[in-house]
Structure 1
């Protein structure tokens, strides 16, 4: 089968590799349909290996070369012994986290995403979404309804990140929310906050094109370019009592964006850190104490989110497909996908690869 594999930084190759064998007990073979290029994939391509193991992964045994792609969906091809609720022909979305199901402190409490032995399909597993087929566990697959398209199935994973960020922040009906970063996760978080009932939405980014794109997605937001305007001042001027927003969600992994969140949030508000910072960053801890705020991390998502997120997307309450700006073939994935998304002057936001094209 054809697959895109990571060998080293700036070394992605379209190769012919062996198709996975018949699924074993509790396993399912799927034919992949659509896969998204994630920011994590871009970081691996630019600077990796980061999450891709150079020695066998302690749980899965996987190591490079690695088939990329953890935002994907497909069609069930075959099921192994003991698999229930799935059969050949079912359309599915992939929940890519792989970990012990028991005998682990966090797994025993249903907090599978916090397992220290965590692996991901497309990063530290035998396969991923950027190939014709992938062998997975039955717990990695959730059927999608007729109302959901195959391409939307590939958007469940990044949307789950956004929904969890809003949950961590306690976003609810009437909330005022600042989101820093107008990339795919930032705009999906914008949509998730609106779906949760947020009444006042602010979005900060230094890219005016992305801010304009976001206004087309959600037309009543307040956009801020911090190179021209101070996010905290803008947010305070447009919130009740000029006290700041209820929740600020950092979706960049940038020191200045995190500081802007702390400045813009009201006293006893919540700051959620979703973007991955590449190094330690200083924060004004006097303000954290003085403002009596909560600062919460938001790592991935609980694996149980899939039915909920599928429902949000398929019902139209969270129109995730609005973030997609291009669909390409696997043969063009590097030039028209990875390189296009890394182009500072580029206009692409979210690119999907159509494995069936």
Structure 2
């Protein structure tokens, strides 16, 4: 009897290993070098679920890793599975999972915190120093056939929210968290600098939060056109020259009328942050969202700058507790992210390479999406 039981256990283990060997992922193995290779998953814990990934978007940080093997101080030192904006279908659940079932369509929040440090206990789990975040070294990401993830970071999608929209909850969360941090509401007029994917979702979130007027600035005519189509009240083309700040601030004030209460810098350069500080009304807020430079030199104490006018400078890092709200905004139609998805690719070696090159080149590409 014991021999028979052992034989059955070995059969189950071999079956699981065989199933796992069919799981493939996109591994970043060098600069601009992605390879689809086997990805062996960790065992399914009692509070974990196994998700078949069906939709995954390419983020700006993914592109930085692809081009440079690093984002700021996050350095890729060994082969790593890339990707983190994802949604899929539950294939298996752990023994203690209660809120999800096999077959559920879900969106995944990609960061797993320690849940024990003071930051986590106080609710700021996104700042946890032990955070394990999909596709941020050294943690493997989710551009794979299947992944294992904790139940509490997996959210069921309503019937009228697609898997692609579920994957878009991740970038949308950045915009939602930024608007929460800056207290956007019906009495705040908003300037957004940068009409890339994050600038656009921040604009959508600001409108959903009730901002009566949102204008957006960028160097690219096409992206400004997209912003206008998505509901921006005004668009302004700007330059990369720091000498143009004064002239651009006049344009912003003229477009806004009564002045700018909150500015979001979704780029993150000396020029864009200086422009935001100069454009914002005394007593207003500037929220730094983009991280284009690792160090900045900005006018905080000049007579017309932030300190003398009590302009609050705040920052954000990713997001926290945003998925339920993002899903509700999508379900009710208060936010429509579908127009942001400009390119779609399959999960093949050729398409993975094309998709990342397309995203890296920019141009008319806003959100590049994989359909697995």
Indicate whether the TM-score tops 0.5: yes
How does 1:1-357 map onto structure 2 within 5 Å?
1-18=23-40, 20=41, 22-50=43-71, 64-102=78-116, 104-124=117-137, 127-218=140-231, 220-226=233-239, 230-241=247-258, 244-286=259-301, 287-302=305-320, 304-331=321-348, 332-343=350-361, 346-355=363-372
Cα distance in 1, alignment partners of residues 180 and 39 from structure 2: 40
Deviations 1:77-121 (A, max 9, x none): 11112212011111110001111122x111111221111111202
Match of 2:7 in 1: none
Please say if residues 69 and 76 of structure 2, whose CA atoms lie closer than 8 Å, have aligned partners that are also in contact: no
> How many residue pairs are counted as aligned between the two chains?
341
Q: 1:54: Cα distance to partner?
A: 5.2
Please say if residues 179 and 250 of structure 1, whose CA atoms lie closer than 8 Å, have aligned partners that are also in contact: yes
Deviations 1:267-314 (A, max 9, x none): 001000011143211111121112211000011111x21111110112
Q: 1:193: Cα distance to partner?
A: 0.7
Q: 1:21: Cα distance to partner?
A: 5.5
Please say if residues 34 and 353 of structure 1, whose CA atoms lie closer than 8 Å, have aligned partners that are also in contact: yes
Cα distance in 2, alignment partners of residues 129 and 160 from structure 1: 18
SS at the partner of 1:3? strand
Deviations 1:215-273 (A, max 9, x none): 122253233323688331112123344xx300000111222111110111000010000
Q: 1:131: Cα distance to partner?
A: 0.7
Q: 1:336: Cα distance to partner?
A: 2.6
Please say if residues 70 and 122 of structure 1, whose CA atoms lie closer than 8 Å, have aligned partners that are also in contact: yes
Q: 1:333 to 1:161 in 2, by over 3 A?
A: farther
Larger CA Rg, structure 1 vs 2? 2
Please say if residues 174 and 318 of structure 2, whose CA atoms lie closer than 8 Å, have aligned partners that are also in contact: yes
Please say if residues 234 and 255 of structure 2, whose CA atoms lie closer than 8 Å, have aligned partners that are also in contact: no
TM-score (norm 2): 0.87
**More displaced stretch, 66-75 vs 43-52:** 43-52
SS at the partner of 1:33? strand
Segments of 5+ residues of structure 1 without an aligned counterpart are 56-63
**More displaced stretch, 313-322 vs 185-194:** 313-322
Q: 1:125: Cα distance to partner?
A: 6.6
Q: 1:112 to 1:219 in 2, by over 3 A?
A: closer
Cα distance in 2, alignment partners of residues 174 and 154 from structure 1: 31
Cα distance in 1, alignment partners of residues 139 and 125 from structure 2: 19
Cα distance in 1, alignment partners of residues 279 and 139 from structure 2: 44
Please say if residues 76 and 137 of structure 2, whose CA atoms lie closer than 8 Å, have aligned partners that are also in contact: no
TM-score (norm 1): 0.90
SS at the partner of 1:35? strand
Q: 1:22: Cα distance to partner?
A: 4.8
Cα distance in 2, alignment partners of residues 52 and 27 from structure 1: 27
Q: 1:54 to 1:141 in 2, by over 3 A?
A: same
Q: 1:28 to 1:119 in 2, by over 3 A?
A: same
Please say if residues 22 and 29 of structure 1, whose CA atoms lie closer than 8 Å, have aligned partners that are also in contact: no
**More displaced stretch, 200-209 vs 182-191:** 200-209
Q: Per residue, is there more helix in 1 or in 2?
A: 2
Q: 1:212: Cα distance to partner?
A: 1.3
Please say if residues 89 and 104 of structure 2, whose CA atoms lie closer than 8 Å, have aligned partners that are also in contact: yes
